[in-house]
Structure 1
């Protein structure tokens, strides 16, 4: 019974590790698109933030 629990824990960790890698790869592709969008948004929002901060 103890060996089964250890195997389950190892399998669960391994699966979650693989899932994390897949998510990172997916998010990297999405992240690159998001970063380029955010850079454009950042350029627009920065002056607005500065005017709000000034008040």
Structure 2
């Protein structure tokens, strides 16, 4: 979801990385990105991105 702020916008994107070569497929990584967006003359750009990784039990 992207939410407007006084200086642009902020958003969050989630990810899951699966190993599909195993049976059953296994989760190898997950987490989310927190993004800060700014509007420029060339359109919206990511000003800052922070990666948050979740612990994954093997």
TM-score (norm: length of structure 1) = 0.28
Q: Which has the higher helix share?
A: 1
Q: Which has the higher strand share?
A: 2
Report the structure number with the largest CA radius of gyration: 1
